[in-house]
Amino acid sequence: MSRHTDIRRITAPDIRARKGGEPIVCLTAYTAPVAQILDPHCDLLLVGDSVGMVVHGLPNTVGVTLEMMIMHGQAVMRASEHAMVVIDMPFGTYEASAEQAFTNATRVLKETGAQAVKVEAGTYIAETIAYLVQRGIPVMGHVGLRPQAVNVDGKFRAKGRTSEEREIVLAEAKAADEAGAFAIVIEGVDETLAPEITAAVQAPTIGIGASAQCDGQILVTDDLLGLFEWTPKFVRRYADLKGVIDKAAAEYAADVRGRRFPAAAETYALRVNAARAPRVARGDKRG
């Protein structure tokens, strides 16, 4: 992959400076080929712990490990050069203490070269966010529907649809903002709550199932591309790659079974060297 040294990668201060300005474009990326395609179009690529469900077939994100996130983060960093790359801190790697979070976040940044980490930001995590930021680790918060809390909630469900929930989500966002988060993801909330949060915090907000009034938007790329039969309500499909892949695989299978693949164009032929005539020394006359 060609890399251009004159391209400057977007940074956390660049993202923070977009508050109230041009909307921030974000997508998830887990592999080098996809990251390379998305990179010119995005301001931020998130190596989300959704990789556990999207790539590894897990039922939720709880089973994702730090080693998985590092491996996918390395792939995305190798293939991108423009977008800021943020890596999710998986469940169990940052909640116990600020020191635990710092140890694991430091490892993530050192081993991948990424620029920031993301944590699901209950109010209890604000102290940890401040601890990381003060020690040189940019942090993105994540409020509202928090996938790592699925076992508490029982399922993935929208938040902020009651007055009590609204206060909780708003408090989460304010706490993350005051702790120094450079941006905050707002997922799966009542559409009137996201603009309220956006107005209440200094950090730019990135919506996913939130509101067009957020400072930016993010989607899981595989949902956007139509690789799954079911997608959340908030997803807009921009392609039907599941159908494209299914059709291609069916045609390939039919060609293999019909012995139409490989054909001559897809095979190698024996190279035949032309016979060399005897070399005749200059001036040699044979009659």
Active site residues: 187
Q: From the CB of residue 27, how many other CB atoms can be counted at a distance below 10 Å?
A: 25
Write the CB contacts of 262 (distance below 8 Å, at least 6 apart in sequence).
Answer: none
The verdict on whether residue 50 carries a ligand-binding annotation is yes
The verdict on whether residue 190 carries a ligand-binding annotation is no
CB environment 215-231: b (16+ within 10 A), e (fewer):
bbbbbbbbbbbbbeeeb
The verdict on whether residue 153 carries a ligand-binding annotation is no
The verdict on whether residue 211 carries a ligand-binding annotation is no
CA distance 214 to 197: 9
> Could you tell me if residue 228 is left (phi over 0), alpha (psi between -120 and 50 degrees) or otherwise beta?
beta
The verdict on whether residue 2 carries a ligand-binding annotation is no
Measure Cα distances from 21 to 15, 33, 69, 214 in Å. 10, 30, 31, 11
CA distance 45 to 9: 11
Annotated binding site for Mg(2+): 49, 88, 120
